[in-house]
Amino acid sequence: MTRVVKRTINIMLVCQFLICLGMSLIFPVEPAIKQAYHLSAFGMGVMAALFALVQFVASPVVGRVSDKWGRKQMLVWGLGIFAGAEFLFAACNSLAAFNTSRAIDGLAAAMFVPTSMALAADITTPAQRAKVIGWLSASFSGGLILGPGIGGILAADNFKLPFWVAGVLGVISTIVAAIWLPSDEKVGVTHHEEHRQEKSTMTALKEIWSPTVSLLFLMILVAAFGLAGFEAIYSLYVNQVHGFDLGQIALVLTLNGIISLVLQVFCFEAMVKWLGELRLVRWAYLLAAVGTVFVIYDGIAWQITLATLVVFEAFDLLRPAITTLLTDLGEDNQGLINGMNMSLTSVGNVIGPLMAGALLDRNYLYPYWVVIAFLLVAWVLTFAVRRRFRA
């Protein structure tokens, strides 16, 4: 890698970490917001859903726009819009304004996250790509993991403080990206010009669509759906069924955060070189399914904890591995490919918890049975694309 490419990657890592940190600060203060403004549970649910809905709708379109007009300006605008959304949330006092802020947040995420993945694919060789995508996934996960804890600390005296802090982080990230992030031309991204005058998003999508791409998109959806479904009820499940207390649950989630970062930063590239992306995806689906079975039927605390960590780490490896496969097929449509990736992830993140919650009311086993079934179907699908990737 050249010095300019390394600088570009480092800035994207820092900015993505900060934006994900800011977006997850809201989670620990949701009860305080609900109580302070006398909001209903449905109103809070709508607020959360708007973020995912806008992200789902905007990601493919924004990704295509970045293919046409360039990556840097999309990243800078995304960070600036994020900062504005956080300041709006901190300053407002009505549900309508809160909803507007979260919708704008979803747009900012759609502008930044897939564009950063697309730029990483643009400026790296196939040999370097897995490592860099692993780093970006780690910065994404790290921000989401640390955000709730920091948000809880900041909100101790004023539950609006986390959003003021997130807005400041957004401003800092915007300034850093605007000044120090190299232009597309400096890192060798020059293909946008040929797309500016033709090809709508739908036309470009039809061009890249193939049975292989369809299956990979389906795998992304299953990965997001499975993780969200597993995670949404995990605390309730192990508490009610296996008797885990809050300390044990916190220990599992903390260990998951630490191991996840280590795997994605230090081990992902080596695992890809050893197994290849597709074999890694195949093993991750299988291990996630087997681990979920142990979580359901095992009765020994340390074994349940180990099985849980296997499930979480398998899911954490799935997304960067599938993303790497998709970027290898994207050619000069990396923005659109990664936009679709983020859009489908949003769908899975919405459907997974809804499914888990609805089934949990019927039987504690039903949600995890469904997750296992989808994971095994996805495992079978990996064999359907093996000819394309020779795995």
> Of 322, 295, 317, 314, whose CA–CA distance to 306 is shortest?
295
Q: Is the pLDDT of residue 296 over 50?
A: yes
In the predicted model, what is the mean pLDDT of residues 98-111?
Answer: 90
Q: Give yes or no for a contact between 51 and 109, defined as CB atoms under 8 angstroms apart.
A: yes
Helix (H) or strand (E) holding 318: helix 301-330
Question: What count of residues does the chain have?
Answer: 391
Which runs of consecutive H residues, i.e. helices, occur in the chain?
Answer: 3-23, 30-36, 41-69, 72-91, 95-123, 126-154, 161-180, 201-208, 211-232, 234-240, 246-262, 268-275, 277-297, 301-330, 334-360, 366-384, 386-389
Q: What is the pLDDT of residues 20-37, one digit of tens each?
A: 887 777 766 777 787 888
pLDDT per position as a tens digit, 243-264: 888 678 878 877 887 888 888 8
CA distance 55 to 345: 9
How far apart are alpha carbons 286 and 97 in whole angstroms? 44
| pLDDT one-digit tens code per residue, 260-286 | 888 888 888 888 888 888 899 999 999
Tokens of 24: 């997850």
322's tokens: 């599938």
Residues 224-247: tens digit of each pLDDT: 888 878 877 787 788 888 888 867
Interhelix angle 3-23/95-123, rounded to 10 degrees, is 160
Least confident span in 169-183, 358-372, 376-390: 376-390
- pTM for this entry: 0.75
CA distances in angstroms from 290 to 4, 75, 268, 298, 314, listed in the order given: 43, 39, 21, 11, 11
**DSSP helix/strand/coil, 214:** helix
> What pLDDT, on a 0 to 100 scale, did the predictor assign at position 81?
95
**Mean pLDDT throughout 85-98?**
90
Mean pLDDT of the chain: 82
The pLDDT value given to residue 196: 47
Give CA–CA dist 257/260, Å, rounded. 5
What angle do the packed helices 72-91 and 3-23 form, to 10 degrees? Answer: 20
- What are the distances in angstroms from CA 285 to CA 9, 313, 382? 29, 11, 9
Residue 206 pLDDT > 70: no
Report the pLDDT value the prediction gives residue 388, as an integer from 0 to 100. Answer: 61
Residue pointed to by tokens 């087997």: 290
Q: CB–CB of 58/112 below 8 Å?
A: no
DSSP 183: P
Distance of CA 125 to the CA centre of its chain: 23
Over 70: is that where the pLDDT of 123 sits? yes
For residues 98-115, give the mean pLDDT.
89
Give the CATH class of 1-197. Answer: mainly alpha
What share of the chain has pLDDT > 90, as a percent? 17
What is the per-residue pLDDT for 77? Answer: 93
CATH number of 199-391: 1.20.1250.20
Q: Is the pLDDT of residue 290 over 90?
A: yes
Output Rg (C-alpha) for the chain, integer angstroms: 20
Above 80 in pLDDT, residue 106? yes
- The separation between CA 317 and the C-alpha centre of its own chain, rounded to angstroms, equals 12
Domain ranges across the chain: 1-197, 199-391
- What's the rounded Cα separation, in Å, for the pair 86 and 105? 8
pLDDT score for 17: 87
Determine the pLDDT at residue 18: 82
What is the rounded distance in angstroms from the CA atom of residue 249 to the CA atom of residue 171? 35
Residue range 304-363, pLDDT digits in tens? 999 999 998 998 888 888 888 887 765 656 667 777 777 787 778 778 777 877 787 788
